[in-house]
Structure 1
Amino acid sequence: MVPFNEILFFALAAFVLVISPGPNMIYIISRTITQGRQAGLMSLAGVICGFLFHIVMVSFGLTAILFAVPFAYTILKVFGTVYLLYLTYQAIRPNSKNLFEVDDDIRTDSPYKLFTIGFFTNVLNPKVAVFYLSFFPQFIKPEYGSVLFQSLELGIVQVCVSLTVNFFIVLTAAKVAGFFAQNPKWVKVQKWFMASTLLFLTIKMATSKAK
């Protein structure tokens, strides 16, 4: 097992990752505000399962293969970039709902759709795989026991940190909806701000390189 003091340090790194603005946070917040807390929690469930996917990939060495083969990494990056471009278009397309607009009908998107989009928003983000591939080796040592078990242990810690932080984000975002309902002039500003943020993330992803 990984020593407790190193687990704490890893948890801190995971905390920094989860509070950094990115596709996961944007999606969770937007779904919570537009469709309600239940939708936010279902979206969060999809994102968490996306983390589990990456953890399994790292634990069994598959992520290392992706980054060892440039073509495989390029495919993943292209899918992620295209998906972010799609989200950007959805944010500014004519007659589209603003990401911060209150939606009286929280069933606009089915739980399955919310979960699926959350899952692929995470899975199609190469930066998550980069985080795992970069940080896991620093905490995994043969003298601590099974490498597979250590990798899964670190993965569980990361998921717990992400789940806790994002859960509170969902609770907070749900309350923010009321503010935008009372201040309609901010709707257009926030709409373009969100689109600009998504476009920035798209460019960052498109220009990232395997290490």
Structure 2
Amino acid sequence: MLTSLVGFTAVAALLTVSPGPDFAVVLRTALSSGRRAALCSALGIAAGCFVWGLAGAVGLTAMLSASQAAYHALRVAGALYLMWLGVQALRSARRLRPARADSAAPAHVRAPHESTVAPDSSAGSVTPLRAFRTGLLTNVLNPKVGVVYISLLPQFIPHGAPVVATTVLLVAVHAALGVLWLGGIAVAVHRARAVFQRPGVRRRLDQATGGVLLALGAAVGFETAR
């Protein structure tokens, strides 16, 4: 069992650090809502791993893997959700656009209260509960997670071991690695918040993460092969 656990941990670590929707969602949440919300997104993603793991243990992901209609329906739903998150990020970037300066007045005579950023720049902030839900849905609406689990986990379940209990253990390892990695991203962004919260930097990062989420959603949506 120990050998299987070590082998799975190595494989799960590689899967965890691979760039994907989870990374983009946590980065976006950290930028817009801070460390706490980003950590909640990471916990939501971890919870999604358990949903898929338990579903695989009872055979639901096997059915999903065998049914083209079910797989594609979930894939399209996941693609639309990712694209919606991307649109939200791009809308937030537009809200952070520089305000139109009064060209007739030099910078040193502008009123102290005048801002170089649109006043609704914090409108993209989300609550921890909403961040958790976003992370959960991002994972649960990604059928690739279920297919990976059903194809990968059985290889690391020793002969004669209890399937459900061992599956939960392996998923817990993957979820813990995910929380550590994504939580580290959230903490790193928080520590560098003085840089990331600069209007110009924040706007470009929102544009970048929005574009990545749209691209990921489009890639998932137009994928023809499993």
| Pairs within 5 Å for 1:2-151 | 3-93=1-91, 95-96=94-95, 108-141=125-158, 143-151=159-167
Tell me if the contact between 1:36 and 1:106 (Cα under 8 Å) persists in the aligned partners. no
Q: TM-score if structure 2 supplies the norm length?
A: 0.79
Q: Give the greater-gyration-radius structure (CA).
A: 2
Q: Deviations over 1:20-73 (max 9, x none)?
A: 111111111221222121111222222211111111111111111011111111
Give the partner amino acid of 1:69: S
What are the ranges of 5 or more consecutive residues in structure 1 without an aligned counterpart? none
What corresponds to 1:171 in structure 2? 187
Residue 216 (structure 2) pairs with residue 201 (structure 1): yes
* Number of residue-to-residue matches in the alignment: 203
Partner secondary structure for residue 93 of structure 1: helix
Q: By percentage of residues, which structure has more helix? A: 1
| Pairs within 5 Å for 1:175-190 | 175-182=191-198, 184-190=199-205
Going from structure 1 to structure 2, the CA distance change for 1:55 and 1:106 (only over 3 Å counts) comes to farther
Going from structure 1 to structure 2, the CA distance change for 1:191 and 1:51 (only over 3 Å counts) comes to same
Per the TM alignment, residue 108 of structure 1 is displaced from its structure 2 partner at its CA by 4.0
TM superposition outliers: structure 1 runs of 4+ over 6 Å: 103-107
Going from structure 1 to structure 2, the CA distance change for 1:93 and 1:35 (only over 3 Å counts) comes to closer
CA RMSD of aligned residues (A): 2.5
C-alpha separation in 2, matches of 1:26 and 1:149: 31
What are the ranges of 5 or more consecutive residues in structure 2 without an aligned counterpart? 98-119
